[in-house]
Amino acid sequence: MDRIKKLCSYLDKCTVFADVGCDHGYCTRFMLKNGLCERAIISDISEKCLKKAESLLSAYILSGKVKPVCCSGLEKIEGADAVLIAGMGGDEITEILKNSYIPENFVFQPMKNVRKVREFLLENCAEIILDEPFESFGKFYFVIKGKKNGKKIFYSEAQLEYGLNSASADSRKYLLSELNKKLLYLERPLNEQTRTKIEKEVGILKEVLDYES
């Protein structure tokens, strides 16, 4: 499935939806077309990039349903009860949250360094409701969904590395893919420190797969 279509399936109904780093604005269009929000805010740090979404959503902008904002991260995003940040690195998402706030409700889709996002959210007492990989055209992406306030949860070392939810078909496919990569890597000549690190990671992956089987 297309990454954007799959990402949209994780979005819930809200009053004001904010798409940070909105790219073409497809997720915002999905929310409005399906009656999942009353109004939306689209933002990007680049005016040029924001223009792409403004073009797609021009009718909604004219009707007052969409407000475009050129800003860094959540800097000028106010009044949104649900925020999507997708397609950025985990370092970038973490920096955005550090420099602003954790949204009331959020869906984050980091392209890499996912653990960093998990650790920041947990350290700041956010509730993570869902944290799993999904597959799109042979590549895996993680989605983290949650809210600012709620039940505080604790992650194991395995969950920090591979997500909270590992029972879905995509999750198991991802875990097996990662396990096979690491087992192949162990066939190479490695120094003791690297071999010990990879063997530890293999052990964690096997534990997760055994637990969910």
Percentage of the chain exceeding pLDDT 90: 89
Euclidean distance between CA atoms 188 and 176, whole angstroms: 19
Domain 3-150 classification at class level: alpha beta
Query: pLDDT tens digits, residue range 165-194?
Result: 988 899 999 999 999 999 999 999 999 999
Query: What pLDDT is recorded for position 150?
Result: 85
Answer for the pair 147, 134: CB distance below 8 angstroms, yes or no: no
Whether the CB-CB separation of 126 and 147 falls below 8 Å is answered with: yes
Segment 4-18, tens digit of pLDDT:
999 999 999 999 999
Pairing of strands 139-147, 127-136: antiparallel
Give the E-state strand segments of the chain in sequence order. 16-20, 39-44, 66-70, 82-88, 105-110, 127-136, 139-147
Cβ within 8 Å of residue 60, ≥6 positions away: 28, 29, 32, 40, 66
Q: pLDDT by residue (tens digit) across 120-136?
A: 999 999 999 999 999 99
| Domain locations along the chain | 3-150, 166-213
Between 114-123 and 90-98, two packed helices, what is the crossing angle to 10 degrees?
30
The reported pTM is 0.93
Per-residue pLDDT, averaged over 113-117, amounts to 98
**Residue holding tokens 């050129």?**
70
Query: Is the pLDDT confidence value at 212 over 60?
Result: no
Q: How far is CA 10 from the centre of its chain?
A: 10
